[in-house]
Amino acid sequence: DNTSELRPTHPLALAPVVAPAASVDGFAKQFLQNLNFDQGVTLSSSDVNDQYLALAYTVRDYLMARWFDDRAKQKTQQAKTVCYLSAEYLLGRQLDNNLLAARLTDIATEALAQCGIDIDAVRAVEIEPGLGNGGLGRLAACFIDSLATMSVPTIGYGIRYEYGIFRQAFADGQQVEQPDAWLRMGSPWDFAHPEAAQTISFAGHTETYDDEGVERTRWVPEWNVLAVPYNMMVPGYHNGRVNTLRLWRAVATNAFDLHTFNSGDYVESVRAQTFAENISKVLYPEDSTPQGKELRLQQQYFFVAASIADFIDNVLPDDFDLEGLPERVIFQLNDTHPVIGVPELMRVLVDEKKLEWDAAWAITQKCFAYTCHTLLPEALEVWSVDLLGRLLPRHLEIIYRINDAFLLQVREQFGDDELLIRNMSIIGEHPYRSVRMAYLATVAGSKVNGVAELHSQLLRDNVLKDFATMWPDKFTNVTNGVTPRRFLRLANPDLSALITEALGAGWTVDLERLRGLEALADDADFRERFAAVKAANKRRLSRVLEARGDTPLDDGHMLDVMIKRLHEYKRQTLKVLHIVSTYEGIVSGRLDVDDVQARTFLFGAKAAPGYGMAKRIIHLINAVGEVVSADERVQGKLKVLYPANYNVTLAESIIPAADLSEQISLAGKEASGTGNMKLALNGALTIGTDDGANVEIRKLVGDDNFFLFGMSEPEVEALWAEGYRPSDFYQQDDDLRRAIDLIASGAFSGGDRTVFEPLVSNLLYDDRFMALADFRSYLDAQDRVDAAYADQDAWVRAAILNVARSGYFSSDRAMRDYLDRIWHAAPVS
């Protein structure tokens, strides 16, 4: 209701807020009203962007009453809130998702049609908020969708970057980055609340003072910024629940008391404003490779400090006794990016709320849990003590004290083993003094989890071994999941309809029900309809590609997709070697064309702008694609497509059309993968290594319905220990040698042998990710793929079984696992 603290007399003010009538008429009326009064245009003078915005406002209007309700309940209910702390949320488009959640898709389609508007044209203008890099950010988006759908009180906290992940273009086959001005045409899904801003401080020094006989420390910061919250609705699917995603934007404080900035100088003071607002200006486009930049640490502290303060000040009831904090909240750390929240909560509890250190530490340890998302050593974040101490002096002191107490505990348990102490210390000494954020998170968190079984095992056995010995019960696994609403129901409407016809509608929130399709895999009629859906999805993708100005698909080709960030460990080069080898085989006549299935290789991948080798690989893919696609000798057989700017929106068109899913990382390097799950769920068969969640996919779908190749993780370790020499593999394998030689010869670079030379020598003399060692096994597996695809009926059967057995990979299941094993929280009614 509208009445707290106010004394209204108007009858409307006393009535509860209600949604507009859920009818075509009611929707059309609301839409037109929003077009007129929010957009300031008439229907006849409106353009498609006006229509999009008015439609978005209308969907919001329907969700609003429930949102008010659920927020009010959050304060009064005793339920525990999940605060998901994530520097990234790769949301994808919002319109369709929210229409679906609110059961408004049909009503809106009809209402707009009555206004003479084709809703598909309106859908197409939405720019997706790309506030994440890849899997980690998309996972956060899947998780908040599931939590809303399961009615778990949740606040997603993050950063409202003004520029998300860059737009990728190609110039002469090379990646060019363009800024992603996603806010330019308006952002109808968020609500700014400047009145709820938090002041976030930086730098300065600490001092002790006498607080009525108690010596305390306080932080005297040097400068500060305002964190302004922008709230987005996170509607659950068909359950009326609306949770909140709260993203923070940095704004200069009024009295921007910067040390060096002279308040009399107008130009300087505007510069100061720019300095402050830089904090939420741009998403760092690095995935799995943190750069240790000061602005990045500013971003991390900025959003985490604002989120913790917001939860305590605005979500908890007034006068809440903070001893009870662990019963009311769990702060889930999405990788190390928010880990500075640990010393921040300690600072709030000890310095501001004046709790005893030990009491504060007991609370803090119960309030945090940590998810690790990587195994790459270079991806484990560290901050130089120098930088951290300069930017957050009080936090560094707190980290030291946490570390002292922790190392004392290590000594108690393991004796004075100095090597062990050095290895486990939160403070690393080499090559420079630094804070190891993963260790801090592990020490502070109530639980530490990896994101797939193999990954969690490797964390326990290698990366965090000593900690796992010390606290075996702290470590657990939660295998990732993906939301079936966006990645099946919305992305693949035809398959969804077929499934619903066969099994009823319940699968959307209970994905294990897909098991019911197993029996239908043996039903010829069902197989035919399933195959027809796949074919229709390929035609749809082809139209999408054409509309983007890309090359359309050829009929009858197997669609072989590799869609993920460009990274050496993911081994896009291994895929290229397969393509080049097949091409060379056909052209030279060594391969019997009839044994080769007609295939389109489709890549989607962005490279971090500073990652030179990844950019060279992009160049190579495009160069090979150009030559192969233009060569008449492989016409109708091989085609390579690499549409630029792969993002969530494009993924939603590619995934339902895919036949083959490439998950070919070196075993032990891909923590989980989630594209692998989306593709299997949409009936693509996987060719993959025993890595990340591939292991679990294969176990579930069965060996007959999965193409396994490559070394296992222990085999990788063994070869590495023995001394890996990639050139040996080059010497011993004729196909491999021919493929590499062809690239080295300049065949894909207009005769210029220098262009791909660094790439070729890297493969021959370094090959950190052992592409050459797995080449033969990969080619053999691809032969099995070709043979299997030749029997279409058997292939479709295997595809159906992939769908039927992928229910486990729902993010709803992942959320249940987090609730049971880590959060000890529950849905509310």
Q: What are the residue numbers of the active site?
A: 373, 564-565, 570, 674, 678
Angle between helical axes of 811-818 and 135-149 (0-180°, round to 10): 80
Q: CB 337 → ligand GL4: shortest distance, Å?
A: 9
Note the residues at the interface with ligand GL4 (CB under 6 A). Answer: 134-136, 139, 287-288, 373-374, 379, 451, 480, 670-674, 692
Considering beta carbons, is residue 136 or 628 the nearer one to ligand GL4? 136
Q: Map residue 667 onto helix, strand or coil.
A: coil
Torsion of CA 455, 142, 118, 537, to 10 degrees: 30
Cβ within 8 Å of residue 10, ≥6 positions away: none
- Tell me whether residue 236 or residue 692 sits nearer to ligand GL4 (CB atom): 692
CB of 301 to ligand GL4, least distance (A): 19
Read off the DSSP letter of residue 311.
Answer: I
Q: Is 70 or 145 the residue whose CB approaches ligand GL4 more closely?
A: 145
Nearer to ligand GL4, 139 or 744 (CB): 139
With contact defined as beta carbons under 8 Å apart, do 189 and 233 qualify? yes
CB 509 within 8 A of CB 237: yes
What H or E segment, with its residue span, contains residue 590? none
Beta carbon nearer to ligand GL4, 135 or 585: 135
- Who contacts 106 (Cβ-Cβ below 8 Å, separation ≥6)? none
Pairwise CA distance, residues 325 & 312, whole Å: 9
310 beta partners: none
Torsion sign (Cα): 123, 125, 129, 135: positive
Residue position matching structure tokens 């790769």:
90
CA distances from residue 105 to 24, 111, 227, 344, 483 in whole angstroms, order as listed: 11, 10, 35, 43, 18
249 versus 669: smaller Cβ distance to ligand GL4: 669
Minimum CB distance to ligand GL4, residue 83 (Å): 18
Which residues of 419-557 form beta strands (DSSP E)? 427-428, 434-436, 448-450, 475-477
Residue with tokens 């329907």: 62
Least gap, CB of 84 to ligand GL4 (angstroms): 13
Closest approach of ligand GL4 to the CB of residue 451, in Å: 4
User: CA neighbours within 13 Å on the CB side: how many for 42?
Assistant: 2
Q: Which is nearer to ligand GL4, 373 or 571 (CB)?
A: 373
Q: Using the CB atoms, write b or e for 396-433: b if 16+ within 10 Å.
A: bbbbbebbeebbeebeeeeeeeeebeeebbbbbeeeee
Which phi and psi angles does 598 have, rounded to 5°?
-65, 125
Cα 286 to Cα 17: distance, rounded to the nearest angstrom: 44
In the complex, what is the shortest distance from the CB of residue 320 to ligand GL4, in angstroms, rounded to a whole number? 33
Q: Measured from the CB atom, is 544 or 677 closer to ligand GL4? A: 677
Report, in Å, the least distance between residue 455 CB and ligand GL4.
Answer: 8
Nearer to ligand GL4 (CB atom), residue 288 or residue 299 = 288
Residue found under tokens 């270079």:
378
Please report how close the Cβ of residue 700 comes to ligand GL4 at its closest, in angstroms. 17
Cβ-based nearer residue to ligand GL4, 38 or 286: 286
Residue type for 742, please? L
Task: List the beta strands (DSSP E) in 147-241.
Answer: 154-159, 167-171, 174-178, 190-192, 198-202, 205-211, 214-220, 223-235
SS3 content of the chain, % helix, strand, coil (to 5): 55, 15, 30
For Cα atoms 766, 767, 770, give the angle at the middle one, nearest 5 degrees. Answer: 140
Which residue's C-beta sits nearest to ligand GL4?
A: 135
CB of 710 to ligand GL4, least distance (A): 17
- Please state the closest distance from residue 691 (CB atom) to ligand GL4, in A: 9
Pairing of strands 638-641, 706-708: unpaired
Q: What is the DSSP letter of 482?
A: B
